[in-house]
A and B are shown apart, each in its own frame.
Chain A
Amino acid sequence: MFEKTGVATREMVMTKFPSVERINKGPVAVVECYQKIPCNPCQTACPFGAISIGEDINNIPERDEGVCTGCGMCVAKCPGLSIMIVDGSKSAETVEFRIPYEFLPLPEAGEEVIGLDRAGRPICDAKVIRVMNPPSFDRTPVITLEVAREYLYDFRNFRRK
């Protein structure tokens, strides 16, 4: 199905998510890269060596949830925009997501937006917490959003109201 629509199934998504215990401890990267393609900037971007691809540049990246600090250096570096950061340490009811977003105009902190799933369907409300767009991100801004915890495995994008 994924190869027909570009929409990953729940089972596929679950293989990329760290444990809930890890998510509740603090920010951690979810690397949604499912296909062997010749690409490795995530590995070089990680200052902690938490993402490994190995000798063959076609390997699928593996993120070590024990080593990953959720710093987010990989998010704006992935050419496929396949990486996001999840953080469940802030509250029991919500999760914070950090996702790449390359559309103008950018949202503003505090803005209420519509949360979308992997097929672009509206699923929830989301609140913009922070907008990061430093020169080092090279025009791939990273947006931090707060989303109700029940959408942890479904939320993947947003659109402005």
Chain B
Amino acid sequence: MREVELLIIGSGPAGLCAAISAAESGARVLILERTFKPGGQLIKQTHMFFGSESQYASHRGVDIAGILMKKVEEFGDKIEIMLNATAVGFYEDNVVTVLKDEKEYFKIKAESIICATGAFEKSLAFPNNDLPGIYGAGAVQTLMNVYGVQPGNRVLMVGAGNIGVIVSYQLMQAGIEVAAVLDAAPRIGAYLVHASKLARMGVPILTSHTVKEAIGTDCLEAAVVCEVDDKFRPIPGTEKRYDVDVLCISVGLSPLNELLAMRGVEMKYVPQLSGSVPMRTENCETSIPGIFVAGDASGIEEASSAMAEGYLAGLCAAAKLGHVPADFEQRRQEYLKQLDGLRSGPVGDRIRAGMSVSRL
């Protein structure tokens, strides 16, 4: 059985930053990545990111993945990335079982572990929601921006959060028509600058609307939408039909952290963080010493906070392993300050409320 000092599960923004930070302190790191390419969701993001310079604001997500990977490569003697490797189990003796290339199955034992597994997309229940042509927004982005495959010709986007409006904009950049963006909420959830970008391209954003049903025999041919009242009940007589071949579902994310639950860390359902999350300290350490969490796996936020959390978790995990840099406290305070800044405004209200009840 292979033994490693620090195992990081996931190579998205949180995982890569955690690896860089830990390696900087002198820790030896193995990263598990379940896909063929490191970077997580960053590699699909062709838009410029928000935040400050510390989180590479104004750079495109895909380029941030490149910047982080370059740093990872600078620590080539300290950081190893194992691709096509899915962590499928996490046991009491800190043994993680791994399925590699969908054929090899083996164990890795780690002194310390950072879980940076990200999130999964929520779904929406409506008649015929299993017709081909109905995608999650993440799948549409993967097809379009990773593989260069056009998902369809005319899209109806369900969900006006950041992902919904950003993916709509990217679809239009790819030359695909976006018929409308709808959301059951009475207000647009996305940053309004993103929504305005779509609006001035002539794409209607329909708040207080939901999907009533999908229509099609072999694949999606149309979708019927309707208005909802303030209790999210459909209003009869408001049905509208959109002839579309793609229905893109972007109704939010949930933290992906079953591995931590399996290991037995203390979990709590926190609606403001969009699901069940591990309780953790200010330093991202869970209820089991030496097991850390960073990024969306600890609650749904933006990539900017995932990176800051990754740097913090990597620094603190390495320190716990005995690699304490001279400027440890200064750096720790700096990352905490960045996180406070990113969460301090009105859009951070929910996150702050969620953090306050998930703190150990």
Contact = CB atoms under 8 A, between A and B. Distances in A.
How large, as a class, is the contact surface on chain B? 35 or more
Contact of A139 (B53, B60, B200): B60
A57 B63 CA distance: 23
Nearest to A60: B345
A161 to B, nearest CB: 15
Interface in A42-66: 44-45, 56-58
How large, as a class, is the contact surface on chain A? 35 or more
A120 interface: yes
A8 B188 CA distance: 13
B348 A6 contact: no
A110 interface: no
Contact of B51 (A5, A38, A119): A38
Interface stretch (A75-83, A125-133, A144-152): A75-83
B124 interface: no
B199 interface: yes
A90 interface: no
Contacts of B192: 2-3, 6, 34-35
B234 to A, nearest CB: 18
B186 interface: yes
A118 B198 CA distance: 9
B52 A120 contact: no
A3 B196 CA distance: 10
B148 interface: no
Interface of B: 47-53, 57-60, 63, 165, 172-173, 186-188, 191-205, 207, 302, 304, 341-348
Interface of A: 2-8, 32-41, 44-45, 56-58, 77-82, 102-104, 116-121, 138-140, 156-157
